[in-house]
Structure 1
């Protein structure tokens, strides 16, 4: 997945106060969309060090922390071990290179992950296959931001365009909204974040 090598290098110093704060507002936004999640299984896709997923652990029956970076997975394994967590597992896997036919979940959430992915449609299609019927994919990411110029990440997303793409893949009941504005939170630029909820 995009920029794995970069995340490998920063894994052990990733949990800054700023990232912890953004993870909290992201997980709070995701929680608003959860319905009877305590009987459901979730995947924190592109979990990094698990900042968002750890906040939502008690909302679900079980959670799989999935990332392409072995060092990030090591960080989350350590957290699971230190806190003696029983309802979490980890998986190091790259969905851009292959799909997993035996992996299924009721909920998948991805926070600030999509902007690192080259082929957005491919990943969203593969995640659609992972979702159980009626399952939800929740995306938290940056709104399109023309001030961000980068060759390693997308400069955010237009919510309507993303909705159209996901409708084409087969997602339904799609709803999205901007929920947060922050100072210098996206490549040194002021930016807004949206949440999108969709269903299989």
Structure 2
């Protein structure tokens, strides 16, 4: 998946106070859409060091932390071991390149992941296939920001355009809202973040 090599290099120093705070806010935004999920399975897709998913463990029966970066997954494994977490597992896997494993989940969430994926539609379609009927895909990412110029990430998303894409793929009940605005949080620029909820 996009930028795996860069994440491999920064895994050990990824958990800065700023990233920890953004992850907490992202988890809270996702949690608003999680209902009666104590018996449900979730996937933290593009989990990084697990900052978002670890804040949501209490919501689900189990969480699978999935990422393309072995070093990021190692960080998650250390946290799971250190905290003696019983309801979590890890998987290092590239959705863009490899055949689909036999994965199924009631909830999939991805925080600041989609902006690293050049062509979002195939990945969102494959995630649709992984979801159980009635399951939710929750996306946290940056609103489109024309001040961000980068050759390694998108400059965010127009929520209306992303909703159209989700509906085209087959998702229903798509809704989104901006939940946070911060200083210099996106490639050194002030930016806002949204959460999008959709169902299969």
TM-score with structure 1 length normalisation? 0.99
CA distance in 1, matches of 2:101, 2:11: 28
Per-residue CA deviation, residues 70-104 of structure 1 (Å, 9 max, x unaligned), is: 00000000000001111100000000113424100
In the TM superposition, what are the counterparts of 1:90-129 in structure 2 within 5 Å? 90-129=90-129
Q: How many residues are paired up?
A: 200
SS in 1 for 2:135: strand
Moved over 4 A (4+): none
- How far is the alpha carbon of 1:132 from its aligned partner? 0.3
Per-residue CA deviation, residues 155-198 of structure 1 (Å, 9 max, x unaligned), is: 00000000000100000000000110000000000000000000
Structure 1 unaligned segments of length 5 or more: list them: none
Paired position in structure 2 for 1:19: 19
SS in 1 for 2:38: helix
In the TM superposition, what are the counterparts of 1:57-76 in structure 2 within 5 Å? 57-76=57-76
Paired position in structure 1 for 2:35: 35
1:168 and 2:176 correspond: no
Q: CA RMSD in A?
A: 0.6
CA distance in 1, matches of 2:6, 2:77: 19
CA distance in 2, matches of 1:22, 1:114: 16
CA distance in 2, matches of 1:110, 1:103: 16
- How far is the alpha carbon of 1:118 from its aligned partner? 1.2
CA distance in 1, matches of 2:101, 2:66: 15
SS in 2 for 1:33: coil
CA distance in 2, matches of 1:47, 1:22: 14
Paired position in structure 1 for 2:142: 142
Does structure 2 conserve the Cα–Cα contact (< 8 Å) formed by 1:115 and 1:153?
A: yes
CA distance in 2, matches of 1:51, 1:187: 19
1:158 and 2:158 correspond: yes
TM-score with structure 2 length normalisation? 0.99
- How far is the alpha carbon of 1:37 from its aligned partner? 1.1
Structure 2 unaligned segments of length 5 or more: list them: none
Does structure 2 conserve the Cα–Cα contact (< 8 Å) formed by 1:99 and 1:126?
A: no
CA distance in 2, matches of 1:23, 1:147: 23
CA distance in 2, matches of 1:122, 1:153: 17
